[in-house]
Each structure stands twice: as structure tokens, then as C-alpha cells.
Amino acid sequence: MKKNLTLLMAAGVLSVTLFSCNKSDKKPLSENTEAKSEKSNPSDNQENLKLEFTGTDHFTIKNPKLKVSLYAHDPLLADAPATLITEKEYEQTSVPFTIDLPIPKDAASRIDPKAAEGMKYYVSIEWDSDGNGKAGEKRDIYIDHDKEFPNVKLNGEPQKVYLKILK
């Protein structure tokens, strides 16, 4: 009887794990810490991540407003959502371009769930570059994941991010 109960409990845990793997939500910062935005002032509590955006397509930009976000995740926890570390809005009228994304110095402490080591960071963009009111659709500028995933290191060196036009 105990063996059957243990098997039943293990099956329940496995089913909960499988259902949570299907979630594609990214975990935001906790309620008591806010993501940095364009309105925040640089301070001693921030560093900058220099991002160089480039691409080979012919980019036509009708809407220059884009949002760049930095996420962190533990690559050993495949079903854990990424944590939003910071995001900021920019205006760009051409590609290539370079930006400085303010990063809080306590970025690693904001990550949930906490990892022992080996955290990875990546950037994403949201850009309705064709001006149709919907970002991330056909004819918008987007990160070229086929060329290289936008992993970044918080080591003070410039990081390159490749862009393309969604087709």
C-alpha cells in the first residue's frame, strides 16, 4: 500500500512538472523591485551593458521606438521561467546602432529561483518598426536567432546582437 501511495505521489509531481514546462511566461521582477525604465537616472547602483545591434537586411524604420529587455535564467533549470532584470525604451532610426543599457549592480540577487552558479543572461527587443501597431510581426525588425542567440555577458565588454526583418 505504501509503495502504491508513493508511486501515486510521484506521478502527481511529474504531471505538475510537465504542465509547468508548457508555460512560456517569463517571470517578472518581484513586486518590491521595479525594472529600470527610460525615466530612471544613472546612479552608483547601476552599470551599463553596451549592446551593438547590427544586421545585413535593408531596414526601413517607420516607428523608431523600441524596448530592449535583459533577462536572466539558470540553464540547469529548463522549466524555470527567466527573470526580467531590466528594460528600457529607445528611439533608433537606422541599423546598425549601439546603446548603453543600465544594469543594476545587484542583478544576480534579483534572479528567482536563486542559482548556485552559472547564470546566463540574454536580451530581447520589442519593436513595431513598420508602424502597424503590432510588434514582432511580419516586416518588423527582430533579433536574428538563426544567426546567433542573444546571450550576453555582464563583463563590461560590448556585446553584439544580430537583427533581421521578420518574413
HEC string of 26-40 equals CECCCCCCCCCCCCC
The pLDDT assigned to 78 comes to 80
The answer to whether 68 and 90 are in contact (CB under 8 A) is yes
The pLDDT assigned to 79 comes to 86
The end-to-end CA distance of the chain, in Å, is 58
Q: What is the mean pLDDT of each run of 10 residues along the chain (167 residues)?
A: 47 38 40 37 74 96 98 87 95 97 88 78 97 96 96 94 96
The pLDDT assigned to 39 comes to 43
**Which residue is associated with the grid cell 556585446?**
159
The span from the CA of 84 to the CA of 21, in Å, is 18
The pLDDT assigned to 110 comes to 83
Reported pTM: 0.72
